A and B are shown apart, each in its own frame.
Chain A
Amino acid sequence: MFDIRDGEGTIRLIGRLDAAESEGALSRLNRIDRSVTADCRELDYISSAGLGVIMETWKRLHALGSTLRLTNVAPRIRNVFRYSGLDQVIEIS
């Protein structure tokens, strides 16, 4: 189960971003057209499919001159970003 809650310049990623949820997640993130911070304190899990969603969103916003930042990322999830090399490009805290 995965959900996105919207706020002022911030969104909350909630639950498990796996292959079954990635299409819906990307569709919702595609509505964002300016710089945004994604609060990940309630994100419990991410797989390569979820990384693909984050990667595609970052690339799309980058092309618009905007950016995507991730905050409050749990150590287990930060490791997945590190293994993939995405932590070298996407701002994660």
Chain B
Amino acid sequence: MLERRFPRALGSLEAMFEFVAVFARAEGLDEAQAFETGLVLEELFTNQVKYNPASARELEVRLEREARNVILTLRDPDAEPFDPGRAPEIDVGRSLLERKPGGLGLHLVRRIARRIDYDYRDRCSTITVSLGAES
């Protein structure tokens, strides 16, 4: 298990990807699982940054291995309630000329994740995502 706190800013992404790479090497993740862990973490992290940029509280990331799955937990101690598993679905079949970028990140998370759990209490949001191995 690997756990670390990151400042609530896009500038944290580089350190966060390195954090995922360290975990991937230690756990011997396959290439797809390492890629998707980084992608899901970026999407969830940037969502928290985007919708609550004013808070000074850091975000906590935990990565664990459970059998062949990666369990990614993102904890925001100062958040408004928002369940990423229940966000409105976007229409990816819509003409590109009519489409806006918004909502694509959570769409990718839902497409990749095997399971998304959400807990919210006392302004603390905890999102837990299970990511499967390729084969």
Contact = CB atoms under 8 A, between A and B. Distances in A.
Nearest to A52: B101
A59 B97 contact: yes
A83 B111 contact: yes
Contacts of A47: 39, 42-43, 46, 105, 108
Interface residues of A, number: 25
Interface in A19-45: 19-20, 45
A93 to B, nearest CB: 18
Contacts of A90: 96
Secondary structure call for the A interface: helix
B123 interface: no
B41 to A, nearest CB: 10
Interface string A1-14: 10000000000000
Most buried by A among B10, B17, B94: B10
B13 A80 contact: no
B32 interface: yes
Interface string B89-127: 000111111010100110110011000000000000000
Interface of A: 1, 16, 18-20, 45, 47-49, 51-52, 55-56, 58-59, 62, 76, 80, 83-86, 88-90
Given A48-B104, A76-B35, A80-B108, 11 more contacts: A16-B17, A20-B10, A20-B14, A45-B35, A45-B38, A45-B39, A48-B101, A55-B99, A59-B96, A62-B97, A83-B112
